[in-house]
Amino acid sequence: MLNLYHIAAYTLFLNNKFLDCWIKPVQNKEMGSRISGFLTPVACLFLISSHSFDSGYILEDDILLDHHIRTFISEKLSAVGINSDPYGIELTTVFILASLTAAAVSYLIVHHLIVRSVNNVLQKANKPLAESLAKYDVLEKLSLLIPIMVLDVFIPLAVGHYDWLAAIFDRILSISILVIFVWMIFALLDAMNDIATFKGITKKMPIKSFVQLIKLFTFFVGVVVSMSILANESPVIFLSGLGVATGFVMLVFKDTILGFVAGIQLSANRMISLNDWIQMDAYGANGTVEEISLTTVKVRNFDNTVSMLPAYALVQNAFINWQGMSDSGGRRIKRSVNVDVTSIRFLSDAEVEKLKSIRILRQYIYEKSRDINEYNEEMSDEPTFGNLRQMTNLGMFRAYINAYLKANKDIHQYMLIMVRQLEPTPEGIPLQVYAFTNNTDWAYYEGVQADLFDHIYSIMPLFGLRPYQMFTSHDARQIGLEQVTSKNAQ
C-alpha cells in the first residue's frame, strides 16, 4: 500500500509555517497561535497514523482485531437468530458502510469545524490571504484528504481477506490521495499568485511564469507516481525510462523550455513587468502588458486588440519598453515646422521695436541688440551692409518659441528645452521643437502638442515668415484668378 500520510502531515506543518509567515505582520499573535493550534494536532494525528497504520505495524495486530470484531458481531447476530459468516459478504458490506460513514463524519468535522474556524480567524487576521485561499478553496481541498485517508486506513481492513478487492481499493484510494494533493497544490499556488499580485510583487517580477513551472513539475511528478501505483513498481523505473524519450520531450516542450529560460532573463534583467507599455513592430504589438506566463506575454494594444508574444521572442528580438518614459514624468515633443526659405529676411529697426511689445521677447531683444551694437561699433570704420550684423526674422522667431516653451506651464521645465534648425530640405528649413510635457498621459500629451503648434503656425506671420506647403489645386486656382483679374483690369 502506498503510504502518503507522511506527505499530508508534512504539508500541514508547512501550511502552519506559511500561515505564521503571513499572520505575523498583522500584529495579532493570538490569532496566529490559534490557527497553529487548529492545524498542528491534525498534523500530529497524521504522523501518528502514518506510523500506526504502516503495513509493517498493522499486519498482525489489526488482522487479529478484525477477526475478533467479525466473530463478535457474527455471534451477536446468531444470538438473535440471524446466521452470518464472520467473513461473509454481509459483514464485509457492513464494514465497508461503516468505513464510509466514518469518512463522511470525519469530513463534516473537518469542514464545518476546523476549516470554517480557520477561515474566520484568517478573515480577522489577514483578509487578503483569507480571500485568496477562499477563492481557490485551498482549505476545502485540503479537508478532502481526511476522509480519503480514513478510507485508506479502514477499507483494506474491511476487505483484507479478499486480496483482489483490497488491491483495487488500495490503488484507487492511493491515486485519490495523490490527485487531491496535487489539486490542492495547484490551488495554493494560484492563491499565492493572487497574494503576490495584491502586494505588488508581480509588478517587479513575473510570478505567474514560476507558478506555471511549479505546476508543470508537480503534474509531472503526480503522473509518474500514479503510474507507479497502478503498475505497483518504483517511480525510479519510470524516471529511468525517460532518458530514451529526452529528445522527444525537448521537441514537444520546446516553447516551454525556451519560454522558461526567457522568463528568467526577463525577470533577472527587469526587461519587462506587468502594466508596462511595450512596442514590438515585428509582432504588431503596441500596448500594455497584461499577463506574463511561462511561454507567452499578453499585450493589449491601444486599439483594444490583443497580441500574444512568445516569451523567448522578447529576448531574441528588439522591442521598445516605454515604461521609463512613463516613470520619468515627461513625454517628449519632437516635431518640426518647415519654414519657407523665401520668407527669411533681416528685420528693420521699426519691426524690432514692434516686437518689443511681446513681453517674453524683451529680454532677448535687449541682450541681442547690445551684442549687435557692440560688434557694429567695432566695424564702424567699414560700415558696409555685409560687415554689420542685424537681427533676422527666423532668429527672432526661434527665440520667441524657446521663450514661449519656458513660459508654458504644460512643458516640463526641468527637462531639455530646445528649438533648433535642421539641415535645409527641398521643403524648406525645418525648425524643430524639442521639449517634454509634464504629464505622460497620451491624450494630455497630444493636446499640449497640438495647442503648441497651433500657436506656432498662427504667430509666424507676425515675424514675416511663411510655413512651407507644396503646390495645391487651391494655389493654381488662386493664380488663375489673379491672372484673370489682371487682364480685366487692363
pLDDT higher than 80, residue 175: yes
Fold assignment, 329-344+401-490: Alpha-Beta Plaits (3.30.70)
Provide the CATH topology of domain 202-211+232-326: SH3 type barrels. (2.30.30)
Q: What is the pLDDT of residues 419-465, one digit of tens each?
A: 999 999 999 999 999 999 999 898 999 999 999 999 999 999 999 99
Mean pLDDT of 173-198: 86
| Mean per-residue pLDDT, 410-424 | 95
Residue with more model confidence, 97 or 50:
97
CB distance 111 to 142 below 8 Å = no
* Average pLDDT, integer, range 190-196: 84
The neighbouring-strand residues paired with 443 are: none
Confidence of residue 480 (pLDDT cuts 50, 70, 90): low
Is residue 129 scored above 90 in pLDDT? Answer: no
Return mean pLDDT, the chain: 77
Q: Tell me, what's the pLDDT at 433? A: 97
pLDDT for res 490: 59
Res. 244 pLDDT band, cuts 50 70 90: low
Band of pLDDT at residue 475, cut at 50, 70 and 90: low
Q: What confidence category does residue 237 fall into, taking pLDDT thresholds of 50, 70 and 90?
A: confident
Tell which residue, 409, 457, 417, 456, has the closest CA to residue 436: 417
Q: Where are the domains of the chain?
A: 5-199, 202-211+232-326, 329-344+401-490, 346-391
Of residues 213 and 476, the one with the higher pLDDT is: 213
Whether the per-residue pLDDT at 143 is higher than 80: the answer is yes
Note the pLDDT tens digit of each residue in 301-313. 999 999 999 888 8
Residue in this structure with the C-alpha cell 485508506, named with its chain if needed: 152
Q: Of residues 481 and 336, which shows the higher confidence score?
A: 336
Q: What is the pLDDT of residues 20-59, one digit of tens each?
A: 433 333 334 443 443 343 333 333 333 333 333 344 334 4
